[in-house]
């Protein structure tokens, strides 16, 4: 699918662009009855393609559809989800993974019905180690008990943790920036996801001015 969004305001309450509501519906529609998808990694080929935007709107679309939804900022090197959700201080993912708090402490409610958030927390020196640790895997299975859907804003696939997290989730959404990613890169990323045995749920052709152009 393609997505364009002229809004840049840092507000979690802004309307969900139609394309992201359609992305959620597409994902549900394409899944067979036996597919149980509860964790979705949002990834991209490089920085700045729109992973955070896509993760945020996709999580909002799931929450709006009545699913208990958790949004996780796992881009520990360059976190940004916290800036869209104001609220009291709460520890984040890096603090949980470095055993400074429990998982419950890291989960913060948002003002959006059905939507909770785990912020990234302070940037650690060892992001890859933390995100590829058994604690992260354990957290994912714990969160699956609590939520219908967990949407994870990951690092791009160039980072090892971006790859490992995409592989550990039930599926992934790939965000590619329209006009900036070559056909060869898109193909290479697609092959890489295949080698990692990632279930690709959809590709967002982001920042596309022609909303008619469809990709997945």
Ligand X SMILES: Nc1ncnc2c1ncn2[C@@H]1O[C@H](COP(=O)(O)OP(=O)(O)OP(=O)(O)O)[C@@H](O)[C@H]1O
Residues 72-101 that bind ligand X (CB under 6 A): 75, 78, 80
**Binding of residue 52 to Mg ion (CB under 5 A):** yes
Query: Which phi-psi region, left, alpha or beta, contains residue 87 (left: φ > 0; alpha: ψ -120 to 50)?
Result: left
Residues 80-99 that bind Mg ion (CB under 5 A): 80
Using DSSP's 3-state secondary structure scheme, residue 192 falls into helix
Q: Which stretch binds ligand X (CB under 6 A): 26-34, 46-54, 100-108, 179-187?
A: 46-54
**Binding of residue 49 to ligand X (CB under 6 A):** yes
When CB distances are held under 5 to 8 angstroms depending on the partner's kind, the choice from ligand X, Mg ion, none that residue 98 binds is none
Q: Among residues 52 and 127, whose Cβ is nearest to ligand X? A: 52
DSSP assignments along 119-166, one per residue: ---SPPTTHHHHHTSHHHHHHHHHHHHH-SEEEEEPPPTTSHHHHHHH
Using DSSP's 3-state secondary structure scheme, residue 204 falls into strand
Q: Among residues 67 and 207, whose Cβ is nearest to ligand X? A: 207
- Helix (H) / strand (E) element for 205: namely strand 200-206
| Smallest distance, ligand X to C-beta of residue 102, A | 27
Q: Please, what is the end-to-end C-alpha distance for the chain in angstroms?
A: 5
Residues forming contacts to ligand X in the complex (CB under 6 A) are 3-5, 8, 44, 47-53, 75, 78, 80, 206-207
């Amino acid at each position: 699918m393609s997505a364009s969004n002229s809004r840049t305001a840092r507000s979690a309450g802004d309307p969900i662009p139609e394309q992201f509501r359609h992305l959620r519906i597409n994902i549900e529609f394409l899944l067979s009855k036996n597919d149980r998808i509860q964790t979705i990694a949002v990834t991209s080929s490089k920085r700045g393609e729109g992973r955070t935007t896509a993760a945020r709107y996709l999580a909002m679309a799931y929450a709006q559809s009545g699913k208990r939804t958790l949004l996780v900022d796992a881009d520990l090197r360059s976190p940004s989800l916290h800036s869209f959700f104001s609220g009291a201080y709460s520890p984040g993912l890096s603090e949980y993974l470095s055993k400074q708090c429990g998982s419950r402490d890291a989960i913060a409610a948002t003002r959006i019905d059905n939507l909770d958030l785990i912020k990234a927390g302070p940037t650690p020196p060892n992001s890859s180690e933390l995100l590829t640790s058994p604690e992260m895997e354990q957290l994912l299975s714990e969160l699956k008990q609590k939520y219908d859907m967990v949407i994870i804003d990951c690092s791009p696939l160039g980072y090892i943790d971006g790859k490992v997290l995409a592989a550990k989730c039930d599926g992934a959404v790939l965000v590619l920036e329209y006009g900036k990613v070559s056909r060869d890169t898109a193909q290479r990323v697609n092959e890489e996801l295949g080698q990692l045995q990632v279930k690709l749920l959809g590709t967002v052709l982001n920042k596309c001015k022609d909303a008619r152009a469809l990709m997945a």
